[in-house]
Structure 1
Amino acid sequence: MTVAPPLKSLRDSPDLRHLRQIIAGLDEGVILVDPDQDILWANTAALGMHGVDSVEDLGATVDDYRQRFQLRYRNNHKLNDADYPIERVVSGEAFSEVVVEVAVAGEDEPRWVHQVRSLVLTNDDDEPECLVMIIQDVSAQFEAEDRFEQSFNANPAPAVICRLCDLRFVKVNQGFIDMTGHDRDAVLSRTVYDIDVLERGEKRDLGKERLAEGRTIPQMEAELSLPDGQTKLVIVAGQPIDMGDQPCMLFTFADLEPRRKAETQLRHSEERFMRTFSLAPVALAIGARDGHRLCDVNEAFTSLTGYSSAEIIGRPLGDVDLWETPALRHAIEADIDAGLPIRDREVRIRGKDGDIIDCIVSTEPIQLDDEACVLWAMRDISTRKASERELVNAIEAVMKDTSWLSRSIMEKLARIRTPNAEPVGVGLDELTQREREVLALICRGLDDKSIARTLDVSSNTVRNHVARIYSKIGVNRRNAADAWARARGFDGDSIPHALHLKAPSKEIAA
């Protein structure tokens, strides 16, 4: 039986010194391993990537290396002995870009992240002469990716990331899940064709073109379809990024649904306001604070002033010559310009026909379509002012004829005291002489007993007279009888003088 000769090691070759000189200054870490699994040499970069100062600290053999350094994948699964990159190198396996986390034996947390590839150097007979493990320290890159991952997931702003090669979503944060109601796993198994993040976008064609080119997608309004069949108004934008050397697109969103609901409520509120404005029985007008130009008037305003809406809308009140005097116009406009509300101010305006109208004017600052406006309210008080003038004239007439004062004023007083009483047609001449005497003493303020002593009759007789008086004149109280009598000019002074003599002074005073 022929025994195969042992593999010739680079250890016995003068080329090892030259190889070490070549790779000594490389930024990448290089570890040379003999086919018999001895670690021959490592450059300075490789030693630094393991936190050691010499090749002996790496370990004399592959087994020593496994004892001193514990490796695991990025998903936290520990590597089996046969899966160690140095073991795979020794076995002659060619591989590239294996990423592992490296921890010093006895420590739980890894210190470095290495990206490893292999190289096999052969001799003239094409036999393995030296095994090479080439290492790149990608710790900073993965730390940055970890920070991005944490920031992406914690960011309340909704966001998703898709790969540009197949447009499949590879990351989705909680903000997007909360905003749309999609299931996380369902999103990650779909593409932008399934969940169209540019759906009904105002610049959708531009967005699709930029997505295909891997370029920035400008902000645009879009309307996302939700799992429950509803839609949500959003602002979406896209930013190209790299993840693990793969070109991706980061989509970020701003939820506009609260704004849309607020705008809808505002629109409904304005619609209700305009309906109320149009149908209000009080004359109302809306004017711009800038220039005091009228923007709208209701039907009551046109009825009050005589101007149609076409004649007055768009014109300043000063041009319409609505105020009675220029001084009044300037005073009111000065208050409006100063931001002062007007409350129940009596003014006089001039209608289209030239008639002067007494009004009470009030104003209130309002906002309509983001424009500062003024709501005008005008109430016609011409009738009230006419009544006041009639009252002044009546008082003046009274002062000239005092005989009319008691009769007319007392009749009004009686109507005020008993506004719902039915009118009674009974007059003083329908009362007997005795009943008029009793009524006169009632007007003097005497009670039944005092009246009985004054008239020298019994109390029962007085009560009977009072009852008949009440029945005839339609009252049921003494003060009502007193008011009825005084309204007819009968106040008790016309009773016979003899009654005054009989009335006890003490009781009369009472």
Structure 2
Amino acid sequence: MPQTVPEQIALQRQVNRRQLQMIIAGLGEGIILVDPDGSMVWANESALALHNVSELAQLGTSAADYRRRFELKYRNNHVLADSQYPIDRLLAGEEFREVVAELGRTSSDATEDRRRVLRFRGFALPDAKGSPESHVLVIEDLTQQTSADERFERTFAANPAPAIICRLSDLRYVKVNPGFLAMTGFSKDDIVGRSAYEFDVLENAERKDAALASLREGRTIPQMESILRLSDGKSKAVIVAGQPIEIWEDKCMLFTFMDMDPRRQMEDALRQSEERFARTFRLTPIPTMLSTREGLRILDVNDAFQSVLGFEPEEVIGRTGGELAIWADNVSRRHLEKAFEASGSFRNLELPLRTKHDELLDCLVSAETVSIHGEECVLTVVQDITERKRSEEELIAAIEAVMRDASWFSRTVIEKLAHLRRPGRTDKPTVSLADLTPRELEVLGLMCQGLSNIDIVKKLGVTQNTVRNHIARIYMKADVHDRAGAVVWARERGFTGNRKPEPKRHPRR
């Protein structure tokens, strides 16, 4: 029996639908076909997987059945009304390119609820007369993209660095973070939606033309200084940079800013500190040198250095420690350098220095590591103690002269002299000459004869360090602090260095 026209049309429709299903079955996007009467007639594997079901019946047999099984929410957490569901909008004759919603199971069917963010697109397939033959619902999974967007949103908002995002297609700002609002005093409504021409962050940039060219071409804008307008009409110096990014598939430019005020305040404080250091360095009455940490090359000397040692600045600046003419001998210089290398500083090392006029000065030398313009340097301070030592030696000589011709002094007088050199002591000495080693006795005897450290070095043929060590041990054992005290201590025990210790005489009556 030949087919009627309606039957032929229905058959042709089935053939067309099977061909369509074969074409779209393997697509990555979810596809649902809906008949004009509202029944859901077919769905591909992707559509079923997006709804976490395995067969068409689990999606629902109609639009109303679908709504009972699945809940859709906009991104603002607003639940879609029945008429707002994509399938209902299709059946109402509406075509749409994008509806983004979060899909979940309804409370009555909430088993294994795996919520996803989906983008729906809907259109009709017309027949030969232009009437809807089928409705097609295309579904795309945006869950991962949305998660990435949410992470970006959280990071962007939490970033303390001021930032603003401009969409390149129309040069309008689409996002601003709290850091930018706090820095400028504007509100979000003051910025978002405005054109880059209305609020130009590159208006006062130092390389504005190059920055604008990079903005138009979507290229990275390197860091540059600029002046940013604030909400109160004032301005702020900033460093601005731009980085191309994509936001919701829109090409954008992320502008980041660094407030220059704290940096300038720090630079001003550093400059003032360095100016104070320079003034102090120049005006201090103690000879002072500034040298590099590496190689100890002289960078500068102060006026007192020139005054005491006689060298002009140009005669020493640029020279290394070994090239300076101030050292009495290389042994002393190497000892000083080793002391500095051991700890990066030292205090009151006693050694002789030579002036430009070939005079030897007894000096105490101290050094400390300092930072100048971010570079490690060495500050060396020289204290001339020649006069002090000469006074001590003259005092020692006077004591020796008196003691040499006044052996008849009573022990009481000697002890009073010792008390004057060591005030505050009420106990009698408990250390005797027998507690000194032969070498220490020899050194003490030369001290009593008025010999300086250098003279003792020459007399005994030992190094200055050896002599210093012996003297330090003598001071410690005798509980004295200087040469005069050591001589008095020896004299009160009848030791002059010219002869062996003599027994104490009883005081005359």
User: TM-score under structure 1 normalisation?
Assistant: 0.69
CA contact (8 A) 1:11 1:40 kept: no
Read off the aligned partner of 2:51 and give its amino acid letter: H
The residue aligned with 2:297 is 293
The residue aligned with 2:10 is 12
**Bigger mean CA offset, 221-230 vs 120-129:** 221-230
Read off the aligned partner of 2:214 and give its amino acid letter: R
Q: CA deviation at 1:302?
A: 1.0
The residue aligned with 1:56 is 57
The residue aligned with 1:314 is 318
Tell whether 2:236 aligns with 1:231.
yes
CA change 1:340–1:73 in 2 (3 A) is: closer
Rounded Cα–Cα distance in structure 1 between residues aligned with 2:82 and 2:159? 40
The residue aligned with 1:137 is 141
Rounded Cα–Cα distance in structure 2 between residues aligned with 1:10 and 1:169? 58
Q: CA deviation at 1:304?
A: 0.5
C-alpha distance after superposition, 1:396-449 (max 9, x if no partner): 44346549999xx9xxx9xx9xxxxxxxxxxxxxxxxxxxxxxxxxxxxxxxxx
CA change 1:334–1:200 in 2 (3 A) is: farther
Read off the aligned partner of 2:305 and give its amino acid letter: F
Tell whether 2:347 aligns with 1:343.
yes
Read off the aligned partner of 2:12 and give its amino acid letter: P
The residue aligned with 1:271 is 275
CA contact (8 A) 1:289 1:336 kept: no
Rounded Cα–Cα distance in structure 1 between residues aligned with 2:68 and 2:74? 17
Tell whether 2:330 aligns with 1:326.
yes
CA contact (8 A) 1:92 1:131 kept: no
C-alpha distance after superposition, 1:71-94 (max 9, x if no partner): 232222232322222222122222
Rounded Cα–Cα distance in structure 2 between residues aligned with 1:49 and 1:256? 50
Matches within 5 A, 1:215-230: 215-220=219-224, 224-227=228-231, 229=234
CA change 1:256–1:10 in 2 (3 A) is: farther
Rounded Cα–Cα distance in structure 2 between residues aligned with 1:367 and 1:349? 26
CA contact (8 A) 2:236 2:259 kept: no
Rounded Cα–Cα distance in structure 1 between residues aligned with 2:76 and 2:211? 35
Matches within 5 A, 1:11-50: 12-24=10-22, 25-27=25-27, 28-50=29-51
Tell whether 2:76 aligns with 1:75.
yes
Q: CA deviation at 1:334?
A: 3.0
Rounded Cα–Cα distance in structure 1 between residues aligned with 2:8 and 2:257? 60
**Bigger mean CA offset, 346-355 vs 103-112:** 103-112
The residue aligned with 1:284 is 288
The residue aligned with 1:85 is 86
C-alpha distance after superposition, 1:329-361 (max 9, x if no partner): 332233234345332233322222222323222
Read off the aligned partner of 2:236 and give its amino acid letter: T
2:363 to 356, 359, 362: 359
Q: CA deviation at 1:258?
A: 4.5
Read off the aligned partner of 1:294 and give its amino acid letter: I
The residue aligned with 1:65 is 66
CA change 1:81–1:353 in 2 (3 A) is: same
CA contact (8 A) 1:225 1:232 kept: no
Read off the aligned partner of 2:342 and give its amino acid letter: A
Q: CA deviation at 1:194?
A: 5.0
Aligned length: 404
The residue aligned with 2:211 is 207
Rounded Cα–Cα distance in structure 1 between residues aligned with 2:169 and 2:45? 38
User: SS of the residue aligned with 1:97?
Assistant: strand
Read off the aligned partner of 1:263 and give its amino acid letter: E
The residue aligned with 2:192 is 188
Read off the aligned partner of 2:307 and give its amino acid letter: S
Matches within 5 A, 1:297-446: 297-339=301-343, 341-399=345-403, 401-402=405-406
1:165 to 166, 169, 172: 169
Read off the aligned partner of 1:120 and give its amino acid letter: A
Q: CA deviation at 1:165?
A: 1.4
User: SS of the residue aligned with 2:345?
Assistant: coil
Runs of 5+ unmatched residues, structure 2: 1-5, 421-508
Alignment root-mean-square deviation, CA: 3.6
Rounded Cα–Cα distance in structure 2 between residues aligned with 1:292 and 1:42? 83
CA change 1:341–1:243 in 2 (3 A) is: closer
User: SS of the residue aligned with 2:36?
Assistant: coil
CA contact (8 A) 2:52 2:114 kept: no
Read off the aligned partner of 2:319 and give its amino acid letter: R
**Bigger mean CA offset, 43-52 vs 267-276:** 43-52
Q: CA deviation at 1:284?
A: 1.5
User: SS of the residue aligned with 1:70?
Assistant: strand
The residue aligned with 1:153 is 157
**Bigger mean CA offset, 368-377 vs 47-56:** 47-56
Q: CA deviation at 1:205?
A: 4.4
The residue aligned with 2:478 is none
CA contact (8 A) 2:238 2:257 kept: no
The residue aligned with 1:96 is 97
C-alpha distance after superposition, 1:58-81 (max 9, x if no partner): 333333333333323222223232
Rounded Cα–Cα distance in structure 2 between residues aligned with 1:139 and 1:291? 62
Rounded Cα–Cα distance in structure 2 between residues aligned with 1:371 and 1:400? 58
Q: CA deviation at 1:133?
A: 2.5
Rounded Cα–Cα distance in structure 1 between residues aligned with 2:44 and 2:119? 16
CA change 1:45–1:354 in 2 (3 A) is: closer
Q: CA deviation at 1:322?
A: 1.0
CA change 1:118–1:300 in 2 (3 A) is: same
CA change 1:404–1:243 in 2 (3 A) is: same
CA change 1:302–1:23 in 2 (3 A) is: same
User: SS of the residue aligned with 1:343?
Assistant: strand
Q: CA deviation at 1:204?
A: 5.0
User: SS of the residue aligned with 1:96?
Assistant: strand
CA contact (8 A) 2:291 2:298 kept: yes
Read off the aligned partner of 1:217 and give its amino acid letter: I
Runs of 5+ unmatched residues, structure 1: 1-7, 417-508
**Bigger mean CA offset, 367-376 vs 212-221:** 212-221
CA change 1:303–1:38 in 2 (3 A) is: same
CA contact (8 A) 1:101 1:110 kept: no
Read off the aligned partner of 2:90 and give its amino acid letter: V
- Higher Cα Rg, which structure: 1
CA change 1:140–1:315 in 2 (3 A) is: closer
Rounded Cα–Cα distance in structure 2 between residues aligned with 1:44 and 1:381? 97
Q: CA deviation at 1:181?
A: 4.5
Read off the aligned partner of 1:102 and give its amino acid letter: L
